Amino acid sequence: MLEVARIPVLNDNYVWLMHDGASGETVVVDPSVAEPVLAAAAERGWPISQIWNTHWHPDHTGGNAEIKAATGCMITGPGAEAAKIPTLDRLVGEGDYVAIGAHAAKVMAVPAHTAGHIAYHLADDEIIFVGDTLFAMGCGRLFEGTAAQMFSNMARFAALPDDTAVYCAHEYTQSNGRFALVAEPDNDAIRQRMSDVDAARAAGKATVPTSIGLERATNVFMRAGDAETLASLRAAKDAF
């Protein structure tokens, strides 16, 4: 059984700590900074053995070097972005596998937010780490890719089992949901979810992880029927 802990850092980032009690291994996913991650791991008695990066942006890799210096951990990340992540030890891409103890994660290439963005899918554990590709009720901006690529990503995610827990890297749900209410004003599932989200945020609570089933019902980008519709939605959200 894997344990996943959420570490809030910076303004709205989440770093994830995943621990396997059987092997004693701990993976850090997308460490923006080092100090709170090292502190959280030490507090739990979880020795950090690996870092998994989803893409090169500094708010996902900024803690790599310091955590590696403190722990000697191995850093895995997208081979397509190796030039932008000099701390990487292992380069991976579509179809490769990484593991924490006996738990295997398949690497999915999900370009669009960045050209080499990847996700880590632990199918047997119903867990996926999606970085900045999929958000609760949203998707990442198209900084280095196309709407067609993002549409393909959304379709791949939507095909996963409903109960798959989705660990994204930012607390964007409230703002995404406000846009979703405008984009799909007749969607009762979005209205109900936003009621829950607003209550959670008012109480200072996080709204992620989410689930594939919940996103399929309430994420307008996952629900887009084609790439052109997604492109239109993304442009509208960028200006929202």
| CA distances, 88 to each of 45, 48, 65, 75 (Å) | 25, 16, 9, 5
Residue among 19, 103, 121, 170 flagged as catalytic = 170
C-beta separation of 134 from 157 below 8 A = yes
C-beta separation of 104 from 125 below 8 A = no
| CA distances, 3 to each of 20, 46, 199 (Å) | 7, 11, 26
Residue among 19, 20, 57, 125 flagged as catalytic = 57
Name the residue among 145, 133, 140 with its Cα closest to residue 107.
Answer: 133
| CA distances, 187 to each of 8, 77, 190, 208, 232 (Å) | 30, 37, 5, 21, 19
Residue among 19, 55, 103, 121 flagged as catalytic = 55
- Is 170 a known active-site residue? yes
- Is 132 a known active-site residue? yes
Residue among 59, 117, 121, 125 flagged as catalytic = 59
Q: Which amino acid is at 82?
A: A
- Is 19 a known active-site residue? no
- Is 103 a known active-site residue? no
Residue among 19, 20, 30, 60 flagged as catalytic = 60
Name the residue among 141, 157, 136, 132 with its Cα closest to residue 205.
Answer: 136
- Is 121 a known active-site residue? no
Distance CA 74, CA 51 (A): 6
Residue among 19, 113, 117, 121 flagged as catalytic = 113
DSSP string of 86-109, one letter each residue:
TT-SEEE-TT-EEEETTEEEEEEE
Catalytic residues: 55, 57, 59-60, 113, 132, 170
